[in-house]
């Protein structure tokens, strides 16, 4: 039953001004009655006895005087077993079930249970008389690949709750009462396997927040070696349209060394989301050999859906990620693209007539983006287990302009920047990450000093390349030309991958370390080459050997053979070793 009622005073796009007759709270959910439909909205501003609601549906047909009921609850998501393999919209409505009920075109005002009614095999871990706090586990159920922990709801008061009764091991419905707890005042709560949590409130039921110091292996060489991401860290992937942001995210979600992947398509184009929905159920998880969807949750809120839902989808995704982190699991959240979320904030800020910031984005853009990325983290739970949420967001700056507000606000809070280049994308280089403008604050799988040495060669090679565009190849020295060829070797062999090749599409860290060591020895070698013709001929030959090596299975006879041929090639032309690299070999 609604706590408070009200009526519509005005409509401005997806913002509705409402007059109410009792107390309401910011972020409370309200429903606007339009005929037989109840349109869901969220209170975003209160001024006296009027409130502004951002409505998550199309607002056509709303009239002045229409009834409004307030739920007394914050915008929340349901948490419990059954989240995995689901495809939700931004409000956690299961889209396949919506499609069955509504047909081809989804109807507004239809809200379904987020977690399906299903029986689970419950195993109690607590016993009568135990004292538990919110976030403590009192039982488990098997959920696919994982043991899903049934916890004391996070929304209970943070005091000791005594277990009054608990069900024996057996099969129960997800909404059945399986445990009853009581606090010191005698207040009793009946608990099922699910509960709700406000999406805009971070879950902080852990003992300690740890430094993200463990590399998140993605099996993408340019990331793991040159631009690493840490478990519990943050990174962003800005780039112009068509530069490969979505493809890179898909490959990361498939190969990343994490337990759970959550994809938040917060305003991405519908065609790309459809591609995800078609491909993911058919993809084989390299870790388990089973369907990739078994450890994936997809939030679909495409650019054709109501604008306000973009914000809801971002917070829905990160709340579910924190929930699984509370079980001691490592979670990767991929948001694509946060630019659409920022555009939604800009539109709502304009309707609220707030003072605009740069490019009409709200003045609080930076703080909102920071609040989102700060919900990532590696934590030690009260029972000693370690859980992590890693957040990777793509940004779609118009024209690839990284100086625009959303990109700049994101760069201030993330730990790694993977900037995609239009030039590299047009040259069909995958991934199209620019190694010269991108950076990372985290430790990778290869010794940092060696990576810096290779990166320095890339910089010097780029300078020589720019010079050759002006004075031609003839105007460069042989030593500069060798540096340029070394930088091209790094780019062609190590920074690029063939996503269609079964071997090169995902490269384990052990292989990355082994191949980088061989590459480093070539980079550190001072060659006995007299002219540019010899330089060109030698590097063409050794480059092809390296490229052939990329496509051969590790540990095979052919793999060892090519490695030996590469050693013979560079040692045959070796004049010495660069003194700066000698101590690193």
Residue 426: phi and psi, rounded to 5, are -65, -30
Report the candidate in 245, 271, 273 with the shortest Cα–Cα distance to residue 430: 245
Contact call for residues 490 and 519 (beta carbons, < 8 A): yes
Report the candidate in 334, 269, 323 with the shortest Cα–Cα distance to residue 298: 334
Is 239 annotated as a binding-site member?
A: yes
| Structure-block tokens of residue 110 | 């239809």
Is 20 annotated as a binding-site member?
A: no
Please enumerate, as own/partner, the contacts of 565-572 that have beta carbons within 8 Å and a separation of 24 or more.
566/518, 566/522, 566/542, 567/518, 567/521, 569/538, 569/541, 569/542, 569/545, 570/521, 570/522, 570/525, 570/527, 570/542
| Structure-block tokens of residue 504 | 């090169």
Q: How many residues does the chain have?
A: 585
Report the candidate in 295, 219, 281, 225 with the shortest Cα–Cα distance to residue 252: 219
Is 169 annotated as a binding-site member?
A: no
Supply the DSSP symbol for 112.
-
Specify which residues 79 forms β-bridges with.
195
| Structure-block tokens of residue 105 | 């075109």
Measured distance CA(9)–CA(27) in Å, rounded? 19
Residue whose entry in the numeric block shows the structure tokens 């300078």: 463
| Structure-block tokens of residue 365 | 């853009």
> Could you tell me which residues come within 8 angstroms of residue 206 by beta carbon, excluding any fewer than 6 positions away?
135, 326, 379, 380, 381, 382, 387
Burial class (CB in 10 A: 0-12, 13-18, 19+), 5: middle
Measured distance CA(161)–CA(150) in Å, rounded? 15
Residue 273: phi and psi, rounded to 5, are -65, -40
Q: Chain centroid to CA 535: how far?
A: 43
Is 243 annotated as a binding-site member?
A: yes
Report the candidate in 302, 295, 339, 332 with the shortest Cα–Cα distance to residue 317: 332
Burial class (CB in 10 A: 0-12, 13-18, 19+), 568: exposed
Q: Sort strands 67-74 and 4-12 into parallel, antiparallel or unpaired.
A: antiparallel
Burial class (CB in 10 A: 0-12, 13-18, 19+), 545: middle
Query: Which H or E run includes 378?
Result: strand 377-380
Coil vs helix vs strand at 572:
helix
Annotated binding site: 239-246
Annotated binding site for ATP: 239-246
């Amino acid at each position: 039953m609604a706590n408070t009622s009200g009526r519509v005073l005005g409509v401005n796009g997806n913002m509705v001004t409402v007059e109410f007759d009792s107390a309401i709270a910011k972020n409370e959910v309200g429903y606007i009655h339009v005929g037989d439909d109840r349109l869901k909205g969220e209170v975003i501003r209160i001024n006296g006895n009027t409130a502004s609601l951002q409505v998550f549906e199309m607002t056509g047909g709303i009239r002045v005087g229409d009834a409004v009921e307030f739920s007394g609850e914050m915008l929340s998501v349901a948490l419990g077993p059954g989240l995995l393999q689901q495809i939700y919209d931004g409000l956690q409505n299961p889209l396949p079930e919506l499609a069955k009920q509504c047909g081809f075109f989804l109807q507004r005002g239809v809200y379904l249970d987020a977690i399906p009614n299903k029986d689970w095999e419950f195993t109690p871990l607590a016993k009568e008389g135990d004292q538990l706090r919110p976030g403590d586990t009192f039982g488990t159920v098997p959920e696919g690949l994982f043991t899903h922990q049934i916890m004391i709801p996070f929304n209970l008061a943070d005091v000791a709750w005594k277990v009054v009764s608990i069900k024996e091991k057996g099969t129960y419905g997800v909404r059945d009462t399986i445990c009853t707890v009581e606090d010191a005042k005698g207040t009793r709560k009946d608990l099922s396997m699910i509960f709700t949590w406000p999406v805009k409130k971070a879950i902080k039921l852990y003992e300690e927040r740890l430094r993200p110091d463990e590399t998140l292996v993605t099996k993408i060489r340019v990331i793991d070696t040159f631009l690493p991401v840490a478990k519990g860290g943050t990174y962003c992937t800005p780039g112009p349209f068509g530069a490969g942001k979505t493809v890179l995210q898909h490959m990361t979600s498939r190969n990343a060394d994490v337990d759970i992947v959550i994809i938040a398509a917060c305003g991405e184009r519908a065609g790309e989301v459809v591609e995800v929905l078609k491909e993911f159920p058919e993809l084989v998880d390299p870790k388990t050999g089973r369907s990739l969807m078994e450890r994936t949750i997809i939030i679909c809120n495409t650019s054709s859906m109501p604008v306000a839902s973009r914000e809801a989808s971002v917070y829905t995704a990160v709340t579910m990620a924190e929930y699984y982190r509370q079980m001691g699991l490592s979670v990767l959240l991929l948001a694509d693209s946060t630019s659409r979320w920022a555009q939604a904030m800009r539109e709502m800020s304009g309707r609220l007539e707030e003072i605009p910031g740069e490019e009409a984005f709200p003045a609080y853009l930076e703080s909102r983006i920071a609040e989102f990325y700060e919900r990532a983290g590696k934590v030690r739970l009260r029972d000693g287990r370690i859980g992590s949420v890693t957040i990777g967001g793509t940004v779609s700056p118009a024209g690839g302009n990284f100086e625009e507000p959303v990109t700049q606000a994101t760069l201030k809070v993330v730990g790694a920047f993977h900037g995609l280049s239009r030039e590299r994308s047009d040259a069909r280089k995958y991934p199209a990450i620019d190694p010269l403008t991108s950076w990372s604050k985290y430790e990778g799988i290869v010794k940092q000093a060696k990576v810096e040495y290779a990166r320095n060669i890339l910089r010097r090679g780029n300078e020589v390349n720019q010079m050759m565009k002006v004075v031609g190849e003839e105007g460069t020295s042989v030593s500069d030309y060798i540096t340029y060829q070394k930088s091209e070797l790094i780019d062609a062999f190590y920074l690029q991958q063939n996503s269609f090749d079964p071997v090169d599409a995902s490269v384990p860290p052990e292989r990355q370390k082994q191949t980088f060591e061989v590459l480093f020895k070539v980079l550190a070698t001072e060659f006995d080459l007299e002219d540019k013709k010899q330089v060109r001929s030698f590097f063409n030959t050794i480059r092809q050997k390296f490229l052939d090596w990329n496509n051969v299975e590790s540990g095979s006879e052919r793999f060892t053979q090519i490695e030996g041929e590469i050693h013979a090639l560079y040692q045959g032309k070796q004049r010495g070793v660069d003194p700066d690299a000698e101590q690193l070999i």
